[in-house]
Amino acid sequence: MIRVYGISNCNNIRKTKAWLEEREAEYEFIDVRKHPMSAEELADVVDKVGLDVVLNKRGTTWRRLGMAGKDPGEQELFDLLLENQVLIKRPLIIKGEAVLVGYDEDAFEGFTE
């Protein structure tokens, strides 16, 4: 089963869900605002793809938290991401042990087979 993590009002999430539905792919959507990932789940994702891939430093939440221009350490960044999961780049897609981050239809093709 494909699990798609994100927030409901995100355009990339809407596009991802539409893409999956067009291909009749079975998936489960998890809104991280309502059902945040556990520290263990998030650590597993970060271990697989890297914190720099998962953390969205371009969004308004990053700026609102006053992080622009700062250089926090890995643990501080992980803790910030765990506490503010809207900072996760979207979509975050997990299928088995595989993790895909970001909207990329070409990557989706191989991922959903």
Reported as a single tens digit per residue, the pLDDT across 36-82 is 999 999 999 999 999 999 999 988 888 898 887 788 899 999 999 99
Domain residues for the domain of 58 are 2-111
Q: 16: Cβ–Cβ under 8 A, 6 or more apart, which residues? A: 4, 6, 90, 91, 93, 103, 108
**The whole model's pTM is what?**
0.92
CATH number of the CATH domain containing 57:
3.40.30.10
- Which one of the listed residues 3, 7, 10, 30 is annotated catalytic? 10
Q: 89: Cβ–Cβ under 8 A, 6 or more apart, which residues? A: 53, 54, 55, 56, 101, 102
pLDDT reported for residue 67: 84
Listing from the earlier edge strand, what are the strands of the sheet with 2-6?
27-31, 2-6, 92-95, 98-101
pLDDT reported for residue 63: 87
Per the structure, the count of domains in the chain is 1
Q: How many CB atoms lie within 10 A of CB 60?
A: 9
pLDDT reported for residue 11: 96
Active site residue 82: no
